[in-house]
Amino acid sequence: MSSQKVALVTGSATGAGRAIALRFAKRGYAVAVNYSRSEADAKETLAAVQKLGVPAILCKATVGDDAQVRAMVERCRVELGGLDVLVNNAGTTHFIPHSELEAVTDDIWDEIFQVNLKGAYYASRAAMPLLKARQGNIVSISSVAGLQGHGSSIPYSASKAAMNCMTQSLARAFAPDVRVNAVAPGPILTRWLIGHEKHVDKAIAQTPMKRAATPDDVADVVEFLALGTTLITGQVLVVDGGRTM
């Protein structure tokens, strides 16, 4: 395997995923940029990473498809030489008021859990042999919705609560070789929230720091958990301006 450090960031075409990919590139890591639909945006992320002088590859893969995820991780091994950090950032949701129970169909449940939970599991499973070989780590992007049951929809909140539990399970199972942690942001100012400004304003009104998270706020915490510590594992670190304290 190559001595070049390598990070794979799922869902890194835009938003927090792009900020995280660029943060690793600034630290000298080769970066695998992943997307499922936003090809033009993903190519912009790839170009920005390459501009920082590090190797990078563009990987089209739906994280909810195990075969596609395994192929993406194999590309990290073959084309970049291995894997040191996996960031499970890809996610999806539907904005449905929690009181509207009949609006939540089986298809919505399945779609959200397939991407948010099973997708993170598929990526972690495929990456684990490479991460163990490098004493690497996993950081998953969860949400405060998984801690308090609020958020864009009940299935979304439930998927993030399950991710938090899975983070602990993986951390126990693979210590001391691989550390596994998660970041739980509040609302992040990305295009995901366009059209849902009232949701953001309500959250900010309940936040001591009086602002929502930016993609760079999330990247700060991912960088710390992945590169700034060697003892933290099995933790869900909240970055929400004090809203949930």
Residue ranges covered by each domain of the chain: 6-239
Residue 231, H or E segment: none
Q: What does the pLDDT read at residue 151? A: 87
Q: What angle do CA 17, 20, 23 make, to 5 degrees?
A: 150
Query: With the C-alpha atoms ordered 14, 20, 24, 30, is the resulting torsion angle positive or negative?
Result: negative
Collect all residues with Cβ–Cβ distance below 8 Å to 188 and sequence separation of at least 6: 15, 16, 212, 213, 214, 215, 217, 218
Question: What is the distance between the alpha carbons of residues 130 and 127, in angstroms, rounded to a whole number?
Answer: 6
Tokens 């590309």 sit at which residue?
Answer: 75
The model's pTM is: 0.94
Q: What does the pLDDT read at residue 3? A: 82
More confident residue, 244 or 188: 244
Q: What does the pLDDT read at residue 206? A: 80
Question: What is the distance between the alpha carbons of residues 116 and 125, in angstroms, rounded to a whole number?
Answer: 14
Tell me the average pLDDT across 194-220.
80
Q: Does 103 have pLDDT greater than 70?
A: yes
DSSP code at position 212: P
| Selected catalytic residue, list 29, 35, 121, 156 | 156
Q: What does the pLDDT read at residue 114? A: 98
Q: What does the pLDDT read at residue 193? A: 61
User: In percent, how much of the chain has pLDDT > 90?
Assistant: 84
Q: What does the pLDDT read at residue 186? A: 83
- pLDDT tens, residue by residue, 105-120: 999 999 999 999 999 9
Tell me the average pLDDT across 74-82.
98
Query: Active site includes 156?
Result: yes
Query: What is the band of 242 on the pLDDT scale with cuts at 50, 70, 90?
Result: confident
Q: How far is CA 60 from CA 57, 97, 226, 243, in A?
A: 10, 32, 24, 35
Task: Please write down the HEC assignment for all residues of 139-179.
Answer: EEECCCHHHHCCCCCHHHHHHHHHHHHHHHHHHHHHCCCCE
What are the b/e assignments for 193-220, b being 16+ CB within 10 Å? beeeeeebeebbeebeeeebbbbebbbb
Query: What is the band of 53 on the pLDDT scale with cuts at 50, 70, 90?
Result: very high
Q: Does 202 have pLDDT greater than 80?
A: no
Question: What is the distance between the alpha carbons of residues 212 and 215, in angstroms, rounded to a whole number?
Answer: 10
Query: What is the band of 196 on the pLDDT scale with cuts at 50, 70, 90?
Result: low
Question: What is the distance between the alpha carbons of residues 53 and 46, in angstroms, rounded to a whole number?
Answer: 11
Half-sphere exposure of 186 (CA within 13 A, CB side): 22
Question: What is the distance between the alpha carbons of residues 206 and 198, in angstroms, rounded to a whole number?
Answer: 13
Q: Does 194 have pLDDT greater than 90?
A: no
Half-sphere exposure of 196 (CA within 13 A, CB side): 19
User: In percent, how much of the chain has pLDDT > 70?
Assistant: 95
Query: Is residue 22 a contact partner of residue 50, using CB atoms and an 8 Å limit?
Result: no
Query: What is the band of 243 on the pLDDT scale with cuts at 50, 70, 90?
Result: confident
- Summary mean pLDDT of the chain: 94
Q: Which CATH number fits domain 6-239: 3.40.50.620, 3.40.630.30, 1.10.3720.10, 3.40.50.720?
A: 3.40.50.720
